[in-house]
Amino acid sequence: MKIFILITAIITLLSGCAGPLRIDSSKSAKSQESRVQFLILHYTALDLPTSLRVLTEQGVSSHYLLGDDAATTLYRLVDEDRLAYHAGLSDWRGHSRLNAGSIGIEIVNLGYQDTSEGRVYPAFPQAQIDKLIILVKDIVARHQIRPENILAHSEIAPQRKPDPGPKFPWKQLADAGLIPWPDEQQVSVKQAEYEQQLPDIAWFQQRLLQHGYATPQNGLLDEPTRKVLIAFQTRYRPENFDGMPDAATAALLDVITSKLR
């Protein structure tokens, strides 16, 4: 019994001597970078109070929520070094399930409303876009996110998501130097060529895949392929996003993907 008590006392003493784990952080590896590779933009399809409640109390979340109120209130809901549940099942250039490597920004916008005159999309207030651009510039600078990896939810999940929709002003992000944009003169020249001879569906599918979209490669204008075309057109030609492979879409795809070859 005395031996048992002695052993217990020694173990207790040694445990006490160990103390808390001490980590020396005075050295830092040269070879490292941020885990964040993508920045994904969304609309909430809800008003500000409901968006805030859903994104803080339910099973979805985002790193930031940008309001449409007079002050364009900006909330940080998840720290950037933590994973937020905003992308869901997603794919871009072979990367899947992008939650783990992305920052998500939810923008308060009602999305669309179906009326007797058709579907109506509300505009994004300019003050909201101005603040968004400041936020995106800050995030991109800190994480060194590549311009081609600033994406719409509809681009990484074209089969199930339409946001941030045709009213989102991607061209303003391009003018701010944040994303690449096809040269209008080159597009015009190519469009004239493709109006004479339109490529087949397999060509469109190959170029969409090359650009980054998860796209069927079956040579058929099926519903999944049309949804990818809609996602592409919504970003680069929002005045007509019918999902049809026309000369203007071919020209945009040609100019954009030619820089990747």
Asked whether 202 and 171 are in contact (CB, 8 A), the reply is no
- Quote the CA–CA distance of 253 and 236 in Å, as a whole number: 9
- Quote the CA–CA distance of 225 and 208 in Å, as a whole number: 9
- Quote the CA–CA distance of 212 and 208 in Å, as a whole number: 6
From first CA to last CA, the distance across the chain in angstroms is 79
Phi/psi of residue 75, nearest 5 degrees? -105, 140
Asked whether 100 and 88 are in contact (CB, 8 A), the reply is no
Q: Which of 33, 106, 155, 195 is catalytic?
A: 106
- Quote the CA–CA distance of 244 and 230 in Å, as a whole number: 8
Edge to edge, the sheet with strand 150-152 lists: 74-76, 64-66, 102-107, 38-43, 150-152
Inter-axis angle of helices 223-236 and 247-258, to 10 degrees? 70
For the question of residue 106 being annotated catalytic, the response is yes
Which residues in 120-158 are b (16+ Cβ under 10 Å) and which e? ebeebbeebbebbbebbeebbeebebeebbbbbbbbbbb
List the catalytic residues: 106
